[in-house]
Amino acid sequence: MNRPYNFSAGPAAIPAEVLEQAAAEMLDWHGSGMGVMEMSHRGKEFLSIYEQAEADLRALLAVPSNFKILFMQGGGLAENAIVPLNLSRAGVVDFVLTGSWSQKSQKEARKYASEVNIVGSAEDTGFTTLPDPATWTLSRGASYLHICSNETINGIEFHQLPDIQALGSDAPLVIDFSSHVASRPVDWSRVGLAFGGAQKNLGPAGLTLVVVREDLLGHALPACPSAFDYKTVADNQSMYNTPPTWGIYIAGLTFQWLLRQTEGGLTGVAAMERRNIGKAELLYNAIDSSQLYVNKVAANCRSRMNIPFFLRDESRNDAFLAGAKERGLLQLKGHKSVGGMRASVYNAMPLAGVQALVDYMREFEQKHA
């Protein structure tokens, strides 16, 4: 099947192999006589799906044994409330502002923490850079420090997580890794909690992944709903309420697909990182060598997953998008808050898709030079 290349920022493309397997199992999962969406979440059939998905994700991301993996609902946006409900202890929390999502996160946290400190910000550059961690004014006794490790809208990425202990803070680091989870390894020695919606790199909308260090459990505010209390969720193996069963199933198939990937002798996430570096370099090189296109993000913090670019002559935007659609290059319009274009090149996007986009961009530029 010759499918178009889908550059959507999320919900995003899912590997074709995963979709084909899900389609084949839609009516009857492994001879059970039921589709996954029809199963009891406490039945042996779904429990086997859940247990395999959790084990595969732990292996895929090399999650240490002292971290709990939670499959939740509400997306990354809900976690902006659920994290402070669990970790703030109604105290002080620190935030670094690097774009649209970290801005939303800190606004939500103000409802639950006694104080939110902005310890670093790139707002003065229009969120085209990352503030140097050495300049962050970390709070003494902060309950946690929150960063968005990849800003989907602004195209900013931390290529190395900050070592906040080296900066003199004992606070756990919370990362929103929604849009680059499983695209590169995670240094868990620097992380207390990581969360992300699945709909960008892991599966369908409706599933939220939380990976939390065990010592951070059990400190939820009294007002925290039971279904959002991380300790309650962990104690019940993500089954305190009915979990997003279909999302877990598709994510589990995606985890298996990722574990099978190879690149230059590497496997799994390491293979995906090498592949993603190649895809990003191909597209950024095409933009940087062009007279028509521009990316405004500093080279040292450009996202590998979400690549915004602008036409220097924005009167040609509609023509560019129409031509792209004719070529089977979909969902390239930039976020409404920033305009321009955006190509999200998540794990499911093959190198051939990025090459097709680059070829079209060059042809469009030659035609409109």
Dihedral angle over CA of 14, 12, 345, 52, nearest 10: -40
In whole angstroms, how far apart are CA 27 and each of 51, 190, 260, 348, 350? Answer: 21, 43, 25, 25, 29
For residue 337, count CB atoms less than 10 angstroms from its CB and return exposed for 0-12, middle for 13-18, buried for 19 or more.
exposed
Q: What ranges make up the beta strands (E) of 226-338?
A: 262-263, 266-267, 293-294, 306-311, 329-330
Nearest to 303 by CA among 182, 185, 152: 152
Q: Which is catalytic among the residues 200, 231, 279, 333?
A: 200
Active site residue 176: yes
Active site residue 200: yes
Look up residue 3 and give its DSSP letter. P
In sequence order, the 6+-apart residues with CB closer than 8 A to the CB of 112 are 81, 84, 85, 88, 90, 221
Look up residue 302 and give its DSSP letter. B
Q: Which is catalytic among the residues 29, 176, 257, 279?
A: 176
Q: Which is catalytic among the residues 56, 68, 101, 231?
A: 101
Residues classed as catalytic: 101, 176, 200
